[in-house]
Structure 1
Amino acid sequence: MSDAANGTGMPAVLSKDQFTYDILFVADARFDGGSSTAMAVEIKAAARAGLRLALMLVKGPLLRAPFPVHPELSAAMRGGLIDRVDPESEINAQLTLIHHPTIMENRPTSKINVSSKRAVLVLHHPVYDNAGKKQYDLNRVLRNIHDAFNLEIEIAPVSSVVRKSLPNDILRRKVIIAEDWVNLIEIDEWPRRSDRPISTPAIIGRHSRPDKLKWPDTLKVAKLVYPEDKLRFRVRILGAGDYLREHYGEIPPEWELLTFNFKGVSNFLQSLDFYVYFHSSTWSEAYGRTILEALTTGLVVILPPNFEEVFGDAAVYCDPENVVPLIDQYVDDPEGYREQSERARSYARTVCSADNYATRLERLGLELRSTKSETKPATISVPPPLPTKNVLFVSSNGIGIGHITQQLAISKFLPEDIRPTFATMSYAVNIVAEAGYLVHFIPHHKHMDANPDDWNRVIAEELFDLISHLRPSVFAYDATAVFGGVSSALKHFPNLFSIWVRRPMWREFHRPFLQAANIFDAIIEPGELAAEFDNGPTSEVRDFVYRVPPVLQIEPSERIARERARDILDLPNDLTVVALQLGSGVNFDLSSVRSAVLEALLKRNDTFVLDIVSPLANDEQNELDNHDRYRRVSLFPSFKFSRAFDAAVCVAGYNTFHEQILGMIPTLFIPNEAEEMDVQLTRIKWAELTGKALLLRRDFDLHRTHEIIGQLLDKRRQETMVQSCKSIRWRNGAKDIAQYIEDHSRILRTDWDITKLVY
């Protein structure tokens, strides 16, 4: 079968007047394991061969947590190696490669328009595990692919293990590619372990994604293969986590537990003497990407006997009770160790080198760019632009402007073909319009004295109309409270990808809102510098959210230079300028704090106070308005001008707190301790105890205001705070969220069964 047939039995015909890709990859790029890493290698190898590549992102049913796109695949898209395609667009391809069968267990929830000469399903997982349990329905997968792509599919198992799991009816009816679609690896990216002698104690290691099936069934067996004898062995584990303690109940204290790091695997392997990998008796490893990485590094790799049919003499094999004697054998035989190391490296070079990919593609009938005849019809060299997609940002009112500010920060990093529209309950709606975005105002029921049930019905109708009109691909909600009207509206649009951006530091008062998690497809938690001190309700469910670094609208490096900022704000250069930023004060009266702080600051003849009022505050006359060392201004975003300030006195809302700390501004924080607020006191306590800021509480410290202001303006104390803040390593989480939105605005969904949709 040289060309896969389409549904009519005739070869697929590609339009000559449209851009045609050589290979279209179809995959759930969120997989954090070997299938994504293997595909990234294929993409790099195909790009080197001059092929035109495209990637259709799929959200399959296997991953329930909100994983982002695998970093290597994300880098390939953003680095220009492969084009992102939109599932709604018409796509031509010579060859379509569908990676991993589970992504097509359900039918796509929207129609796709792919014309392809040939399609191959790469089976990264066996149909049955070691216990004989069916892992997926391959016939259903093939039927769904056929109906979606209008093509008969060829099957490419990644190993003999997967090939042997194929049901007889599949073997009789389908085209099975003769060679195994083994994982490939960039040899040069995995330097060989140095020829140093085996360490004393010998260093045993392993790495895998966090999954208890990747481990022996019992702790007793685990201790056999990863021994506790610290005089003879040192055990290093990359990819440890709470799951391991839950699996075994206890962890030997001698084990060195390391969290997984995509960029640190090679260095980790370089540090080992032996790579030992044993898994659950029920798990059937399709190939073993992590094993290939260890072999390429030239380690002596010890595996259970069932792996021998995959890796042959590249590894050594034994039962758990013989692992230690086998290690002892190689410790006593350095020459034997070197010979086994060379066999491992040779296997990687000859069987799994990425340089083999071009030959694999040629055997599939794909002509490489360098071999194509120049007499063939010319094709359009530039792919068509992606269609514009809409994102609807919805936020609650709050008592400040934090939710809107966070959404504006995210919007700043969206590409031009992702168009944001806002719907907010905040009376600071004007700042969105001034930023140049379309915005719809939804007044909160408290401001209207409306019945909450009636209000929620109206909200549901308004959001329904907005979604119906805009047809957004992503719905991004930023709030702590999830209103009934929001969930009611979303139920009418099951294919709309919905995100809840939910900040941490909740009070127990907010716990009921956790029940709203199942309304959304993904929950994203912006980082909190004081996360170690957060013991609120959200801390219990962090394994089910996508956590990103702290989010800022203005990055510290984007601020206006000190001299220029002082000129713009007309601030004196010969005085110490202190910014006062105490928020709207709507739900927590800080008037006594304001008076005490102003008195302490203005009592000093060398101090000037810039009182930055909230966009939500009433513009009332102030008895200090005529004071020559005091000025009241409305300034948004105030952080942009913050290099002009020598110090600050601020409330500790999420945005302001992280701006002050990351901006390295000596700050006295005052917590808003209203019940409906986040736990501001906790984050300030962290800052105080780590020397990054000072704390003043309204009901506890007011009598010490002059003393604490003195500490704030002490030059030595300021320098200590600045240096402590400077030690923080940070990147803007707004970029991560924007990237997540971009990826999921162009994603083919198969994560829910559309055949069960009830209209």
Structure 2
Amino acid sequence: MEFDVLYLADLRFPGGTSTSLRYDLRACRKAGLKAGIIPVSSPIFARNRVLNQTLLAEIRATGTVIVPRDERPKAKIALLNHPSILENSVRTRTGFDAETCCMVVHQPTRNRRGQPYYKADQWPDLAADWFGHDLHLLPVSNVVRNDLVANGLSAMLHEANWPNLIDPSDFPQKPPREAGLPLVIGRHSRPSLDKWPSPEIALSCYPESPVYSFRMLGAPQEYLDQFETLPWNWHVLPFSHEPVSGFLQGLDIYSYFHSDTWIEAFGYSVLEALATGLPCVVPHGMEEIYADACFYADPTQAPQVYERLRSNRSLMEKASQRARAHVEARFGLDGFKAKFGAVAGRPGPLRRKRASSPAPAKTSAPVVLTVTSNGIGLGHLSRQLAIAKALGPRVNVVFFSLSEAIEIARSMGYAAEYRPFHRKLQADIEAWNAYFFQELREALGHYNPALTLFDGNLPYGGLVDALESYGKCTTAWIRRGLWRTPQPQSIARERVFDAVFEPGELCEALDPGYSRPDPDGVARVNPVLMTQPRHLFSRNTARRALDLPEDATLCLVQLGSEANFDMSLPRQLLLEFLERHPHVIAVEVRSPLHAGNSAGLHERLIMRKMYPLGQALKAFDFAVCAAGYNTFHENIAAGLPSLFVPNSAPEMDVQEARADYGARSGWSLTCSADDPFAFETALEQMLDPDLRQDLSAACLRKTGCWDGAWQIARQLQVLAQLPENLLPEH
């Protein structure tokens, strides 16, 4: 693999570091250059910090290559995209060869009080020992350059800077509005204390006054708690409340002041405001970056600048035009060619030369080891199978499961191993965890996976110990939401995983949120389906596949195994319903491995075995089902009119929330398992073709949200540096 620019980057940064990389990738493509990324995890974030979704979307849109782990790429320039990448705890899987190797330095090495952010004296040796390259420093501005010189790093400095860029088309220019009161002044930044002035200073630059209305996007709660009472004219919004571009459109003036310990290296938030055409009032220290594009003031002087602008419309208009023009001339995407050329052609003085390491020998497809828990149904296994399909044929997925249904994965062509759960072995849980540790640890050593993927509500002690003991692969945990109660023991085990995924719920609004106390540590994706709606059999094909009559009214029955919940009343009422309606046939569909039999209960209650059932859902006129995750979402996606009877067992997720939400949204009907009148009434309603048509039409309006498996697969591909799935998603 050969690239013009190769970035070693942590793709989890929430602020300007990721934003600058995003625009670099866009500008690189526009310049006709090829970019690649080697993902690296910085120690400044929790291990399971969520990837920056906006940056991931840009990577896909620009066709930027995530370098697979078995490649050793070559590049004209290799860029370490943040100093924390050279912390001594960082691990990289992929070596590289580059004509020039540089670190982009996004901030000074110390704050105003002389406290260091990084161990900069270690950078040269770490870069040489870990990557085999001499390291040059590329500051994003002269503010950073001056700091590097002052701290004795002149010998490593490249003569060029690597300024941040922006696409002005993402920030439509806002025309100044007619002068009026109050003047809307705002600012935004990631929620870090360093980005905000002390309360005393804040009250001077953002004062209480009927003349001004201040909008603050991203103020951290620990900062707000420092105020006895927040000014009445402050309107504080969470960092993710709205897109930055839309937020800026609502302002008249942008005003950015920060902590007195912080040295602003570039001020990406200011660049976004300038691109919008907002007059910007900022500290004097930023003049070296933005020259005459901004108004510079001490915090106590800021209100005087606001007043000058408010009282002089001509000044506001000139400031707006100057701001936009400055951004387009100095920081637009067309500037990438120039900054690339300044670095690619001029590597600067080298301390020493090193021989290139040989490219690694090509190996077989990387292994993904999926571990599924012992659920009462097929939900865990089905999600893993859907994700395996989305990962594609260039990876080797191996199933290591506690579910006896693992034979399904084997029948679909996957390697699969079964290990019994402690109840199956009638073993003490502590003894079983010791057994499972040994079995999984041996499997990890044998398969040498690039990624281990667990699906279950609680990572077992044996699982956690095996993953930590092995320590050589990326780890991810997939867990459903809708927890009934807080589960601190389960949450605490997030630390073992590089990513935690929660498949989406259509009823997310009713989720109490016990599964994600830290939203930055749990990646939300769309619902995960085994079968996409576009792959459903037609009605006639589905009925032929299940050997069902083509002209009968067919009711799908999926009330579960009753291993943990009594569904006997609904089943009895269903039999009575069949007695009253001879034209209805009830079809109970079980997995191919299910040993039970419904034969003999009623001549028109028949059993079929099929997996995956989702592709045959159009065979049925309506369904009577428990409100499990897979069944609920697959029925909605297929437009199948359904009566959901939630399994309310304490160990289950809150199926009542799904069933209730579906009914309130007009997608389905619901009733509890112990309410015979409601159940009989709902069954009779399902015989109405107009009602079924209305329910189906409402379901089918829910489109474009069924690609959760692909969303997870794309993120796993980045996290574990897996080869990209070349098969189309649609």
User: What TM-score, normalized to structure 1?
Assistant: 0.85
**Which of 700, 719, 727 is matched with 1:744 structurally?**
719
Q: Deviations over 1:729-753 (max 9, x none)?
A: 6242212211121111129xxxxxx
Cα distance in 2, alignment partners of residues 664 and 233 from structure 1? 52
Amino acid at match of 1:361: F
> How many corresponding residue pairs?
709
- 8 Å contact kept, 1:602–1:608: no
Partner SS, residue 563 of structure 2 = coil
- 8 Å contact kept, 2:70–2:362: no
Partner of 2:418: 441
Post-superposition shift, 1:619?
Answer: 2.9
Range 444-453 or range 535-544, more displaced: 535-544
Partner SS, residue 275 of structure 1 = strand
Aligned residues with identical type, % of pairs? 33
Cα distance in 2, alignment partners of residues 694 and 226 from structure 1? 53
**Which of 681, 685, 688 is matched with 1:707 structurally?**
681
Post-superposition shift, 1:567?
Answer: 3.9
Partner of 2:355: none
Post-superposition shift, 1:419?
Answer: 2.1
**Which of 384, 391, 395 is matched with 2:372 structurally?**
395
Q: Deviations over 1:378-430 (max 9, x none)?
A: xxxxx999973211100111111111011111111114322211111111112
Residue 692 (structure 1) aligned with residue 667 (structure 2): yes
Partner SS, residue 113 of structure 1 = coil
Cα distance in 1, alignment partners of residues 252 and 240 from structure 2? 20
- 8 Å contact kept, 1:88–1:113: no
- 8 Å contact kept, 2:406–2:416: yes
Counterparts in 2 of 1:446 and 1:134: CA distance versus 1, 3 Å: same
Counterparts in 2 of 1:259 and 1:406: CA distance versus 1, 3 Å: farther
Q: Deviations over 1:190-233 (max 9, x none)?
A: 33223553565443333333334333333x6556555666x755
Partner SS, residue 540 of structure 1 = coil
Cα distance in 2, alignment partners of residues 227 and 708 from structure 1? 61
Cα distance in 1, alignment partners of residues 280 and 325 from structure 2? 13
Counterparts in 2 of 1:336 and 1:169: CA distance versus 1, 3 Å: closer
Residue 26 (structure 1) aligned with residue 5 (structure 2): no
Counterparts in 2 of 1:58 and 1:244: CA distance versus 1, 3 Å: same
Post-superposition shift, 1:640?
Answer: 1.5
Partner of 1:318: 297
Residue 428 (structure 1) aligned with residue 402 (structure 2): no
- 8 Å contact kept, 2:48–2:495: no
Post-superposition shift, 1:602?
Answer: 4.6
Residue 354 (structure 1) aligned with residue 333 (structure 2): yes
Counterparts in 2 of 1:233 and 1:673: CA distance versus 1, 3 Å: same
Residue 146 (structure 1) aligned with residue 128 (structure 2): yes
Cα distance in 2, alignment partners of residues 385 and 612 from structure 1? 45
Residue 494 (structure 1) aligned with residue 468 (structure 2): no
Partner SS, residue 648 of structure 1 = strand
Counterparts in 2 of 1:641 and 1:234: CA distance versus 1, 3 Å: farther
Cα distance in 1, alignment partners of residues 578 and 123 from structure 2? 71
Amino acid at match of 2:442: D
**Which of 572, 588, 600 is matched with 1:595 structurally?**
572
Counterparts in 2 of 1:57 and 1:274: CA distance versus 1, 3 Å: same
Residue 207 (structure 1) aligned with residue 207 (structure 2): no
Amino acid at match of 1:693: S
Cα distance in 1, alignment partners of residues 180 and 219 from structure 2? 23
Q: Deviations over 1:543-564 (max 9, x none)?
A: 4322222221212233223343
**Which of 19, 22, 36 is matched with 1:54 structurally?**
36
Cα distance in 1, alignment partners of residues 290 and 316 from structure 2? 17
Partner SS, residue 560 of structure 2 = coil
Q: Which runs of 5+ in 2 are unaligned?
A: 348-359, 723-730
- 8 Å contact kept, 2:48–2:494: no
- 8 Å contact kept, 1:120–1:154: yes
- 8 Å contact kept, 2:110–2:117: yes
Residue 680 (structure 1) aligned with residue 651 (structure 2): no
- 8 Å contact kept, 1:142–1:153: yes
Q: Deviations over 1:307-342 (max 9, x none)?
A: 223222211133445444433322221110111112
Partner of 2:308: 329
Partner of 2:162: 181
Partner of 1:658: 633
1:80-119 matched pairs, under 5 angstroms:
81-106=63-88, 108-109=90-91, 112-119=94-101
Cα distance in 1, alignment partners of residues 180 and 534 from structure 2? 46
Task: Identify the structure with bigger relative contact order (alpha carbons < 8 Å, sequence gap 6+).
Answer: 1
Amino acid at match of 2:258: H
- 8 Å contact kept, 1:69–1:743: no
Q: Deviations over 1:616-639 (max 9, x none)?
A: 543325224533xx4321122222
Q: Which runs of 5+ in 1 are unaligned?
A: 1-18, 369-382, 748-759
Post-superposition shift, 1:102?
Answer: 0.7
- 8 Å contact kept, 1:578–1:647: yes
Residue 569 (structure 1) aligned with residue 551 (structure 2): no
User: What TM-score, normalized to structure 2?
Assistant: 0.89
Cα distance in 2, alignment partners of residues 387 and 189 from structure 1? 43
Cα distance in 1, alignment partners of residues 559 and 65 from structure 2? 48
Partner of 2:23: 41
Counterparts in 2 of 1:646 and 1:273: CA distance versus 1, 3 Å: farther
Cα distance in 2, alignment partners of residues 275 and 408 from structure 1? 50
Counterparts in 2 of 1:724 and 1:253: CA distance versus 1, 3 Å: farther
- 8 Å contact kept, 1:475–1:499: yes
Cα distance in 2, alignment partners of residues 201 and 298 from structure 1? 19
Counterparts in 2 of 1:302 and 1:210: CA distance versus 1, 3 Å: same
- 8 Å contact kept, 2:112–2:262: yes
Post-superposition shift, 1:439?
Answer: 0.8
Range 556-565 or range 459-468, more displaced: 556-565
Post-superposition shift, 1:433?
Answer: 1.3
Amino acid at match of 1:705: F
